Amino acid sequence: MTELLIRGRVLTFVNEPQGIDDAASYRYVEDGAVLMRNGKVAMAGEHAEVSRMAAPSVTVADHRPHLVLPGLIDTHLHFPQTQAIASYGAQLLEWLNTYIFVEEQKFAQAEHAAFIAGRFMDELLSNGTTTAAAYCSVHPQSVDAYFTAAEQRGMLMIGGKVMMDRNAPDALKDTPQQGYDETKRLIGKWHGRGRAHYAISPRFAITSTPEQMEMSRALVAEHRDCYVQTHLSENRDEIAFATSLYPDAKDYTDIYARYDLLTNRTLLGHCIYLSDREISVLAETGAVGVFCPTSNLFLGSGLFDRDRFDRLGARWSVATDVGAGTSFSMLETMDEAYKVLHLQGQRLSPLNSFYRMTLGNARALRLQDRIGSLHAGADADIVILDSRGKSAMELRMRTAQSLVEELFILQTMGDDRCVAEVYVAGKAMKGRKVVAARRELETA
């Protein structure tokens, strides 16, 4: 039995905050602790009580005065785009053709895929993200690289090979049958192995023929416990192109609805220009609209209308969307989310931001029993946040009066420098990476 006792200010949500200071939505313990046993949370709460439950030989990691939260969750990004962040000047379709479809061809090389997959997972961990849902490239070897890197680190990760059989370079195209066969084989190999979850991933309507959408329908029907991820309504030119390819569909959302791709495990990136009818379809099916603020600003795509999602009862989550997204940091992502909503006269409260990065995104993934909060029995994926991680933050924190104010400072000014440590299934990971980097330097 391995036990670790973490000390710090423990914060975990139990429900979605309603308003700026909804104290019933979270549990906060100033002199708190989390006892981790065999990779699970055994108990979280007052240090005095939790430490009584620990074995006399327990190892203690004292993180006071930092915050102890569940690991952060990212519900949409692209692992093969790790090295293509910050590609200049283009909107979605031109950006895909100029930069991304060139970059993703490199993942035919298993060695390159393995190198980037390792760096990708370490980048997530440096930023306090312990679970993410990512697209791999069209190459099955990119999926092997992705899940292998996650498995080596013990991370709960969701991913899948993109399927695309048109409007892409030949080197990135599969065929409907190949997309089906490769996806099927990868599901058999990875889904449910350790902490891996597979996402059936037709990239978007523009890059899949009706035949490939039929194959996607079959995959979804045959694997109800897999996720489905695709893109929807991100950019006006994209919408015009997609709907022109499916002239019988009522609108963009209806393209996916017709192929039964909207389920309560479907993650739909962006969802910026949806009509009320389309958002209502998401509400009926339980599909999730994924808000990617840094990406939507970077590509000049548009502004996600959170209030309309809430009013129509549709589910939504938050994500970085690296490499159109400009940061792996969920803190920086929520900073931009706040501004995108502010531009539309909408408010995103600090409590809601931290709920979204943790329990909210876990619920979007239907993984709230495992991750996103520090309940007994949860997987011990934990982030330690230092609200004074930068000198300007240390100065600003001197005037902070409350937890809510501190959280707002963290999301507005924070980044990976505020992640003091991250635990995956009870193992400290951030220090581990520094040691590995030093070894790399020593042997160079």
Contact between 74 and ligand GUN by CB under 6 A: the answer reads no
Contact between 231 and ligand GUN by CB under 6 A: the answer reads yes
φ, ψ (nearest 5 deg) of residue 185: -65, -40
Q: Of 176-184, 262-270, 272-280, 395-403, which part binds Zn ion (CB under 5 A)?
A: 262-270
Residue 300 gets the label, from left (phi > 0), alpha (psi -120 to 50) or beta, of left
Q: Using CB distances below 5 to 8 A depending on partner kind, what does residue 234 bind out of Zn ion, ligand GUN, none?
A: ligand GUN
Tell me which of 100, 158, 348, 365 binds ligand GUN, using CB under 6 A: 100
Tell me which of 190, 204, 246, 291 binds ligand GUN, using CB under 6 A: 204
Contact between 161 and ligand GUN by CB under 6 A: the answer reads no
- Alpha carbons 281 and 391: distance in angstroms, whole number: 47
For residues 359 and 13, is the Cβ–Cβ distance under 8 A?
Answer: yes
- Alpha carbons 355 and 373: distance in angstroms, whole number: 9
> Smallest distance from the beta carbon of 441 to ligand GUN, in angstroms?
33
Tell me which of 269, 325, 389, 414 binds Zn ion, using CB under 5 A: 269
- Residue closer to Zn ion by CB (options 321, 421) is 321
- Residue closer to ligand GUN by CB (options 265, 270) is 270
Whether the link from the prior residue into 323 is cis, omega within 30° of 0, is yes
**Site size for Zn ion, by CB under 5 A?**
2
- Alpha carbons 236 and 231: distance in angstroms, whole number: 13
Tell me which of 324, 340, 359, 380 binds ligand GUN, using CB under 6 A: 324
Q: Using CB distances below 5 to 8 A depending on partner kind, what does residue 352 bind out of Zn ion, ligand GUN, none?
A: none
Q: Using CB distances below 5 to 8 A depending on partner kind, what does residue 319 bind out of Zn ion, ligand GUN, none?
A: none
Contact between 298 and ligand GUN by CB under 6 A: the answer reads no
- Residue closer to Zn ion by CB (options 144, 321) is 321
- Residue closer to ligand GUN by CB (options 95, 423) is 95
Q: Using CB distances below 5 to 8 A depending on partner kind, what does residue 332 bind out of ligand GUN, Zn ion, none?
A: none
- Residue closer to ligand GUN by CB (options 180, 204) is 204
Beta strands 382-385 and 419-424 are antiparallel
Q: Of 267-275, 308-316, 345-353, 423-431, which part binds Zn ion (CB under 5 A)?
A: 267-275
Tokens of 186: 């990868």
> Smallest distance from the beta carbon of 324 to ligand GUN, in angstroms?
4
Q: How distant, in Å, are the alpha carbons of 3, 4, 80, 154 from that of 58?
A: 6, 6, 40, 22
Q: Of 14-22, 92-100, 239-247, 420-428, which part binds ligand GUN (CB under 6 A)?
A: 92-100
Contact between 9 and ligand GUN by CB under 6 A: the answer reads no
- Alpha carbons 140 and 187: distance in angstroms, whole number: 11
- Residue closer to Zn ion by CB (options 321, 335) is 321
- Alpha carbons 173 and 184: distance in angstroms, whole number: 17
> Smallest distance from the beta carbon of 78 to ligand GUN, in angstroms?
5
Among residues 303, 362, 357, 356, the alpha carbon closest in space to that of 329 is found at 357
Q: Using CB distances below 5 to 8 A depending on partner kind, what does residue 144 bind out of Zn ion, ligand GUN, none?
A: none
Tell me which of 278, 321, 379, 416 binds ligand GUN, using CB under 6 A: 321
Contact between 203 and ligand GUN by CB under 6 A: the answer reads yes
Contact between 159 and Zn ion by CB under 5 A: the answer reads no
Neighbouring C-beta atoms of residue 244, cutoff 10 Å: 9
Tell me which of 7, 78, 315, 430 binds ligand GUN, using CB under 6 A: 78
> Smallest distance from the beta carbon of 90 to Zn ion, in angstroms?
15
> Smallest distance from the beta carbon of 353 to Zn ion, in angstroms?
21
Residues lying near Zn ion in the complex (CB under 5 A) are found at 269, 321
| Binding positions for ligand GUN, rule: CB under 6 A | 78, 92, 96, 100, 203-204, 231, 234, 295, 321, 324
